[in-house]
Amino acid sequence: MKRRNLALTTLSAVAISLLSCVANAQPKEKVSLMLNWYLYSEHAPFFLGKEKGFFDAEGIDLDIQEGRGSGPTIQAVAAKSVPFGYADVSTMIKVASKGAPVKAVGVALQKSPMSVMGLSERNIKKPEDIKGKIVAMTPGDSMSQIWPLFLKKTGLKEGDYKVVSGDGQTKLNAVINGQADLLLGYLMDQNIKIQDATKKPVTVIPFADYGINMVVSGIIAHKDMLKEKPDLVKKFMRAATRSFEEATKNPEAAVDAMLKANAKAGQRDSLIVGLKLTTPLYHTPETAKLRPFRVSPKDMNDSFALLLEYGGLEKSAGKADDYYTNEFLP
């Protein structure tokens, strides 16, 4: 009897081992994530998660694609060209309000990096110093849309400064070449690029310091996928959450992982500085004790209200709850 029990136990162990091997041998599902822009520090956590095997552990073979702006990324997700996008949530809300079948399944940057910035040698340290200066901005982007609220909050008027208009690179060139004193940008992006190009310090005036906060980048998906492949969405968000947590602990490793994937992503030291400026944006006081991506209703409602008042969002757009969900988060 003992021999029989031992044999059965051995057979059971072998069966379990074989099942485990079969499970591990299952082909991973190739899943694409389209980013909001060319690679920069904000994107490094995804590469760290891929290198660490967080996505592999969920049965996901992650393909990370560079983007050309949040608009095109949102359109790609809406067209089902890619299953996931990393894009500006405010832009997504405006596009979705006009019928695009997309939704945010996690908000990464919950504190706004929107800022006005320029070379420190221009001696612009506070909003009132902007008077008489030249500001470079991109008409129609999220920062230029919120700019009037910044003016209102700080007591400035449109006639207090001059404007140079252009795309992202034009703005950078204008400040770098001295054609503009300031630009509207992200504190962990254009800030670093100006410093890299000029080797000079930059002064940043964040909008959030004046009570203007909007959620920014998040992960978006097609509404059909939320219904048809909810398990995949949960697996993806579980891996992404672990990736962002690990990048917070070790930004150097995250940047190194991105540079291994694409050596042209930027200068290592600058990217590390950029990521260290980015990780504090993962939470607001409302979500300080929560894991990454879990946005609070208050923060979403506040952002939605700003879009309604300043961002060109139609009043028929509904409510913030229509455009995001936390149900797929770990």
Residues 278-329: tens digit of each pLDDT:
999 999 999 999 999 999 999 999 999 999 998 889 999 999 999 999 999 9
Could you read off the pLDDT of 242-275 as tens digits, one per residue? 999 999 999 999 999 999 999 999 899 999 999 9
Provide mean pLDDT across the span 72-79.
97
Tell me the two tokens of residue 315: 């009043």
Phi, psi of 318 (to 5 degrees): 95, -135
Confidence bin at 69 (pLDDT 50/70/90): confident
| Mean pLDDT, rounded, for 165-184 | 96
Q: What pLDDT, on a 0 to 100 scale, did the predictor assign at position 6?
A: 46
Using CA atoms in the order 107, 112, 114, 115, what is the torsion angle rounded to 10 degrees? -160
* Cα–Cα distance for residue pair 206/187, rounded to 1 Å: 7
- In angstroms, the CA 53 to CA 23 distance is 16
The model's confidence at residue 24, banded by pLDDT at 50, 70 and 90, is low
Give me the pLDDT at residue 140, please. Answer: 81
pLDDT higher than threshold 80 for residue 221: yes
Q: Which residue, among 30, 111, 74, 32, has the nearest Cα to 285 in the 3D structure?
A: 111
Res. 148 pLDDT band, cuts 50 70 90: very high
Confidence of residue 25 (pLDDT cuts 50, 70, 90): low
Q: If pLDDT is split at 50, 70 and 90, which confidence band does 184 have? A: very high
Question: How far is Cα 162 from Cα 288, in angstroms, rounded to an integer?
Answer: 39
- Mean pLDDT rounded to a whole number for the chain: 92
Residue matched to tokens 């398990």: 231
Query: Please, what are the domains in the chain?
Result: 27-111+214-323 (3.40.190.10), 114-210 (3.40.190.10)
Report the chain's C-alpha Rg in angstroms.
Answer: 23
- The answer to whether 73 and 86 have CB atoms below 8 angstroms apart is yes
> Quick check: 112 and 280 in contact, CB under 8 A?
no
What is the pLDDT, as a whole number, of residue 16?
45
Mean pLDDT across 66-91 = 95
* Model confidence band, residue 141 (pLDDT cutoffs 50, 70, 90): confident
Backbone angles phi, psi at 165, to 5 degrees: -105, 145
pLDDT band at 20 (very low <50, low <70, confident <90, very high): very low
Query: pLDDT band at 189, cuts 50/70/90?
Result: confident
Residue in the structure block whose two tokens are 């000029």:
198
Q: Find out whether 60 and 239 touch, Cβ atoms under 8 Å.
A: yes
Convert the pLDDT of each residue in 84-98 to its tens digit: 999 999 999 999 999
Residue 15 in this model has a pLDDT that exceeds 80: no
Q: Is 218 helix (H, G, I), strand (E, B) or coil?
A: strand
pTM of the model: 0.85
* Predicted pLDDT of residue 2: 46
Helices (H), the chain: 2-25, 44-52, 70-78, 89-97, 142-154, 168-176, 190-198, 223-228, 230-249, 251-261, 268-278, 297-310
b/e code 267-289 from CB counts within 10 Å (16+ = b):
eeebbbbbbebbbebbbbebbee
Q: For the chain, report the end-to-end CA distance as a whole number of angstroms.
A: 47
- Residue 257 has a pLDDT of 98
**Mean pLDDT of the region 183-197:** 92
Task: Please compute the mean of the pLDDT values over residues 92-111 and round it to a whole number.
Answer: 97
Q: Residue 21 pLDDT more than 80?
A: no
Of the candidates 217, 241, 239, 237, the one whose C-alpha atom is nearest the C-alpha of residue 225 is 237
Please tell me the predicted confidence (pLDDT) of residue 228. Answer: 98
